[in-house]
Amino acid sequence: MKLHLGCGRKKWEGFTNIDLADADINCDIRELPFDDGCVDEIHAIHVCEHFFITEILQVLREWNRVLRVGGSLFVELPCWDKVQVHIANHEPENMTRWALYGDPKTHVDGVPALHKYCYSKAEFAGIMKGAGFIQIEHQVPVFHVPSRDMRLVARK
């Protein structure tokens, strides 16, 4: 089984698409309705920034719980290391403020849509490690803006 967490309006073929509403499964992705070790892959694309730094470790532990041994987690999110450079260069809001707080046009569901934190690469990799993930690898982002975002792939 492959999960697409925080799917929003983007439903992926071949995945179980999960979000708060209008998904294959409607639930809070902090607590997944699956048994331990039953998921092959989890994809969370521009989801982790919607959690406070005080809660992200527990969220990642929950995702780790449902992954099978050898399963993979794929995350993409704004990268604080890159955003700082964009701020220093006085670049447009989509490269700066939106990375920090979210695009105002997408805040239709209120608080869940707001960005709660902007993680650095090393910081997020460390949190993933603390949640039990191994073989954490930085890759070029596939979605959104590679010059602003990060992509990490990890195994259980």
For the segment 70-117, what is each residue's pLDDT rounded down to a tens digit? 999 999 999 999 999 999 999 999 899 989 998 877 766 666 678 999
Neighbours of 2 (CB within 10 A): 16
Residues 17/24, Cβ–Cβ less than 8 Å: yes
Number of domains in the chain: 1
Spatial separation of the C-alpha atoms in residues 10 and 36, rounded to whole Å: 26
Identify any residues that bridge with 150 across adjacent strands, giving them in sequence order: 77
Would you mind telling me the total number of residues written for the chain in this entry? 156
In the chain, pLDDT over 70 holds for what percent of residues? Answer: 96
- Structural domain of residue 51, as residue ranges? 2-155
For the segment 106-129, what is each residue's pLDDT rounded down to a tens digit? 766 666 678 999 999 999 999 999
pLDDT, averaged across the chain: 95
Question: Residue 50: which CATH number?
Answer: 3.40.50.150
